[in-house]
Structure 1
Amino acid sequence: MPSSTPYTIKDRGFWRIVAGLLLASLFIFAALYTVQPLLPVFVDEFDVTVATASLSISLTVIGLIIGLVLLGFLSDRYGRTLSIKFSLLFAAFPFFLIPFFDSFELLLLFRLIQGFALAGVPAAAIAYMAEEIDRRHVGFAMGLYIASNALGGLIGRVVTGFITDHSSWETTFNILGISGVVLFGAVFFLLPASRRFTSDDLLLSDDLKGFLVHLKNPLLLSIFGFGIILQLSFTGIWTFMPFHLQNPPFNLSLQELSMLYFAYGFGVVGSPIAGNLAIRFGLDRIRFIAILTLSLGAFLTIFSSFAVIAIGLCLNCLGFFIAHSLTATTVSQKAMHHKGSASSLYLVAYYVGVAAGSSLLSPIWTNFGWIGIVAFASLLPIFYLFVTIFMFPTNKKEAFL
């Protein structure tokens, strides 16, 4: 068993972990979501439907989901830092290759492959923090990591919109590829080696049994379910928002649309303070309020006032990232073994929500427009929230909410 003392907030190693994961996360989530503001561009340039264009997100997420499962196994065997570091390097290459081809089908293929490579960071990061950082401070570190998720998504979307509006999406991809290689070098030297990692030398079949144990745990299942619901609601709003706001009466340009992604700044702020709020007022209570805030923000985007829409998007981001940060923390606390696998299962559920929010909501958009998207995104989290409360009505020690 590892005997090294876990890092506390006073240790240099703690901040090296935080800085390394922050840089890695910035690139991973910028790369994942960079195409979201480009969907209207892809519709026009490649002459594809909205549903087809959205596959550039959902197929990437499918690749990421596959990677989470497989790379989660590998990180349990060969270590967390190896998975994190090389994820950056291999995820950068598709950005250099995609601009050479005029086929949208090949773009989708490269995005699928890229999604698999991107999975190395999220598959290992949560378990890495849980192993290496003192339990008293892991919530704070987790909040900073989730904040960097939000910041990476913000940077990817805003920079993509700005550069594409002034140059081209191909230029954006080349810049992202170079950034990935540079950040790989930084993270390679910055991230400290694992001191408390114990290699899992079980057979693959035994690892699969570990997955099944988590899937038989009703509490963990409810948490995984929330991963799907939260992201399904959130991604649905942000995927179809550009199509809504580029139409009358708003008629926003790509650069103007990209500015709305600064609402993610509320997620950047909200995630780090979520842990402190949970300690002071109770995790369940803060998560409950965060989910209501997420739904309220989605609902406000139904109005025709641009100011109200902007406020709604800010609340939507704030509620989502606080709820996500606290839910991810719950997984690492409740899983007593195979923590890497448990974290991977939560993230699989989380990204199933991304894929569903990107593509499966297209029929709602086609048939009911923005009103349908908003109704779905605002009501679903509240519905699941109360279903979960009734699932665990009495056992407060085991209840998720």
Structure 2
Amino acid sequence: MSLPTKSTIREARFWRIIIGLGIASVFIFAAMYAMQPLLPILTKQFGVSVATASLTMSINTIGLIIGLIILGFYSDRLGRSVFVKTSILLTALLFIPMFLTHSFAVILALRFLQGFVMAGVLAAALAYINEEIHGRVVSMATALYISFNSTGGMFGRFVTGYIAERWSWELSLQLLGIIGVVVFFMLLFVLPKSTNFQPSTETIRKDMEGFGFHLKNPALLIVFGLGIVLQLCFTGMWTFLPFHLTASPFLLTLDEISYIYFAYAFGIIGAPLAGVLAAKYGLRKVRLIAIVLLMAGCLITIPMKLPLIVIGYCVICLGFFSAHSLTAASVSKEVTHHKGSASSLYLVSYYVGMAAGSTLTSPLWEVAGWTGLTLFSASVPIVYVLLIRLRQRKLGVAH
């Protein structure tokens, strides 16, 4: 029996898929980054250090990484839309005990569980798009989906930062929980059921062999490493921004700081623009320019001048999301089979970088302050790229 025809841009089903996955990803990324603006409040509320407070981000990411691997296997066998919908509902419900508890340890445990269930959307979304959307427009559908990802990160940071300062951090989490339940009911009506899904007949052991195959590929390891480095520096810059701006000489409130998160808009336009330029001038060349922009944005924020910090973060977002989208696109260019597991490994490396940027940069912040953090974030990605190029040139590998 032949499978149903895949959806094109002229069909309502195409837009139902994009809107459904889009609002799902907005909520997931909003929930993922919700705690970042709240870190200064958490340090005071629970009497914990900056490094301990930042665990609310990194422990969530660790749960997400584990979930990506485990739920990715089951999504290949049980379907896509069911994982998306269940992921949204569970993520929303986990906010309830989070704002009711008086124990920071309980919050960390809940954030770990929340990260695990969040992975249901991320593990299924791109596979769902590739199965249900026609090949001629699948790239456009993917770019739209990634733009929703960026919107979610911006939305989550703004909402929690603004509401926590005006009212309370507990209220900001209550609102996110309510939004999540609303999104779940919207998905019941908007997101179509899979019609082209074919359950995998491979054993999980075979899937694991695919992971092992990719981890022996030097070209892919370089790409995965770049994913870690980019996200580590980007997350580090955002994690400690509230601490920097609530201190002297700025003395800003969290709701005032929350407006800076609109810098993410430059990432929303940067990713598709980078794709267009890469098609014309080459992926590696455009990616290098994007990494230089990321470096420049970090350096711009060093002077103690608020306008320069705002401009710097706009440049950071433009450079980071452009470099990230091109690095993710290069994964499929480096492999001929097991492309799904290669993409999963890139996502894992990306979120390893997020966990590292949330917590491992804390000692650097405490010892060297804002200048040390920005110099580190500016130098590591460009140094990584230059070292790889020198290594490849020494081995006579074309680049």
TM-score range, shorter chain: over 0.9
Gaps of 5+ in 1: none
Q: Secondary structure at the match of 2:94?
A: helix
> Does 1:234 pair with 2:234?
yes
CA pair 199-335 structure 1, distance change in 2 beyond 3 A: farther
The offset of 1:267, in angstroms, is 1.1
Gaps of 5+ in 2: none
Match runs of 1:34-183 below 5 Å: 34-183=34-183
Looking at structure 1, the residues matched to 294 and 9 of structure 2 have their Cα atoms a distance apart, in angstroms, of 30
Looking at structure 2, the residues matched to 231 and 356 of structure 1 have their Cα atoms a distance apart, in angstroms, of 9
Looking at structure 2, the residues matched to 122 and 319 of structure 1 have their Cα atoms a distance apart, in angstroms, of 23
Looking at structure 2, the residues matched to 20 and 334 of structure 1 have their Cα atoms a distance apart, in angstroms, of 30
CA contact (8 A) 1:73 1:340 kept: no
TM-score (norm 1): 0.94
CA contact (8 A) 1:75 1:340 kept: no
Query: Which digits, 9 at most, give the CA deviation of each residue in 1:303-345, with x for residues without a partner?
Result: 1221111111000011111111222233345444433322221
CA pair 324-204 structure 1, distance change in 2 beyond 3 A: same
Correspondence for 2:307: 307
Correspondence for 2:371: 371
CA contact (8 A) 1:2 1:195 kept: no
The offset of 1:294, in angstroms, is 1.1
CA pair 338-87 structure 1, distance change in 2 beyond 3 A: farther
Higher alpha-carbon deviation: 223-232 or 141-150 = 141-150
Give the aligned CA root-mean-square deviation in angstroms: 1.9
The offset of 1:263, in angstroms, is 0.6
Looking at structure 2, the residues matched to 112 and 43 of structure 1 have their Cα atoms a distance apart, in angstroms, of 19
Correspondence for 1:291: 291
The offset of 1:185, in angstroms, is 1.8
The offset of 1:216, in angstroms, is 1.6
Query: Which digits, 9 at most, give the CA deviation of each residue in 1:339-364, with x for residues without a partner?
Result: 33222211110010010000001111
Q: Secondary structure at the match of 2:10?
A: coil
The offset of 1:82, in angstroms, is 2.2
Looking at structure 2, the residues matched to 139 and 380 of structure 1 have their Cα atoms a distance apart, in angstroms, of 30
Correspondence for 2:327: 327
> Does 1:266 pair with 2:263?
no
CA pair 327-4 structure 1, distance change in 2 beyond 3 A: farther
CA pair 268-225 structure 1, distance change in 2 beyond 3 A: same
Query: Which digits, 9 at most, give the CA deviation of each residue in 1:9-35, with x for residues without a partner?
Result: 333333222211110110000000011
Number of corresponding residues: 397
CA pair 198-62 structure 1, distance change in 2 beyond 3 A: same
Correspondence for 1:29: 29
TM-score (norm 2): 0.94
Letter in 1 for 2:124: A
Correspondence for 1:221: 221
CA pair 373-254 structure 1, distance change in 2 beyond 3 A: same
Looking at structure 1, the residues matched to 9 and 333 of structure 2 have their Cα atoms a distance apart, in angstroms, of 19
The offset of 1:211, in angstroms, is 1.1
CA contact (8 A) 1:69 1:341 kept: no
Correspondence for 2:280: 280
Q: Secondary structure at the match of 1:206?
A: helix
The offset of 1:73, in angstroms, is 0.9
The offset of 1:392, in angstroms, is 4.6
Query: Which digits, 9 at most, give the CA deviation of each residue in 1:194-226, with x for residues without a partner?
Result: 344332222221211111112122222222111
CA pair 133-390 structure 1, distance change in 2 beyond 3 A: farther
Correspondence for 2:18: 18
| Percentage of pairs with the same residue | 51
CA pair 9-118 structure 1, distance change in 2 beyond 3 A: same
The offset of 1:265, in angstroms, is 1.2
